[in-house]
Amino acid sequence: MKRQFAMVAVTAALLAGCASKPVEVAAPAPTPVAPVPVAAPLPKGAFPGMKIPAVLADGTYPTPNRNLTESAKIWHLRAALNVAALACRGADEAVIVAGYNAMLAAQKPVLAKAEATYSAEYRAGGGDWQDRYDDSMTRLYNFFSQSPSRDAFCQAAGRVLAEGASVPGPMLASFAATRLPMLEQPFTDFYRAFDAWRGTATQPLTTQRVVFASNGAVPVAPAGMTPAPRATPVSYPASGLQAQLKPVSQPPLPVASPAPRPQLQLDPSVFQ
Task: Give the rounded distance of the alpha carbon of 36 from its chain centre.
Answer: 25
Other beta carbons within 10 angstroms of residue 193's beta carbon come to 18
Question: How far is Cα 187 from Cα 148, in angstroms, rounded to an integer?
Answer: 8
Tell me, letter by letter, the H, E, C secondary structure of 47-67: CCCCCCCCCCCCCCCCCCCCC
| pLDDT number for residue 9 | 53
Distances (CA, A) of 116 to 13, 122, 134: 104, 10, 14
| pLDDT number for residue 40 | 82
Contacts of 50 (CB under 8 A, 6+ apart): 194
| pLDDT number for residue 31 | 72
Coil, strand or helix: which one is 259? coil
Distances (CA, A) of 254 to 2, 11, 220, 241, 246: 116, 102, 21, 16, 10
| pLDDT number for residue 41 | 86
Asked whether the CA dihedral 40, 44, 48, 52 is positive or negative, the reply is: negative
Question: What letters, b where the CB count within 10 A reaches 16 and e where it falls short, cover 90-104?
Answer: eebeeebeebbeebb
Amino acid in position 266? L
Tens digits of pLDDT across the chain (272 residues): 555 555 555 455 545 555 555 556 566 677 776 665 667 889 999 999 999 999 999 999 999 999 999 999 999 999 999 999 999 999 999 999 999 999 999 999 999 999 999 999 999 999 999 999 999 999 999 999 999 999 999 999 999 999 999 999 999 999 999 999 999 999 999 999 999 998 886 544 333 333 333 333 333 333 444 443 443 333 333 333 333 333 334 444 444 454 444 444 444 443 33
Instruction: Indicate the DSSP class of residue 209.
Output: E
| pLDDT number for residue 204 | 43
